[in-house]
Structure 1
């Protein structure tokens, strides 16, 4: 076989992880994303352009003053904010099961903390991930709710 120097092709040095932290390998041809993330990004861009076009048409129809360009820019800004929220929703829907402390993939064995984090076996204790949840007050409130103070009315003596 011919060597890579003779053919002019070179093999990649190291595999590149996807920039969306999905634990798949990306490539420079796909902007350092895996094929699934790139496909999602393309779909989001298409939706974004549709939103910008629709919002700019609505803004232009509503306005009859000379500030149409400013209003169109404002509509585009709103559409870009919608795109950012859609990206975060896509990531939430994918359900990337990673520890919030060490970013280790946990899958089905992840622990949900009361502070809202998903953690691995090592970090699931509250002192291992600097948990902001106040267990002391939560325990006191639970005990107080479970054991209400009962005051009996005094009986009249005969």
Structure 2
């Protein structure tokens, strides 16, 4: 048996897609509601600008994704050839399997700061009004 409350909430979607929406989602179906939320909040980027690393020697890699055939891909710390298995770090360098972790190559990228920036953009600041004393 269908409750009267369930039939009240089955309204046509306000987005005009032909599905049913709920009042909880502003009379939108789940697909249209998700699109409206994504339009309000742009996707997040977690990589803030960093300074060039003094610890990691610069590599001779071109800035484009297409590499010339003659240039070999090498680790930023030990200069070992990495081939297809190189690991790109957020500091902008490529490393072998031994030096791929930030602790192993003294990565200058500030993960804590980038996480805080991402959370600050993602979570709005909510403050209530001060209570007035009687």
> What band does the TM-score fall into relative to the shorter chain?
0.3 to 0.5
Structure number with the bigger relative contact order (C-alpha 8 A, sep ≥ 6) is 2
Larger-Rg structure = 1
TM-score where L is the length of structure 2: 0.42
TM-score where L is the length of structure 1: 0.36
Q: Which has the higher helix share?
A: 1
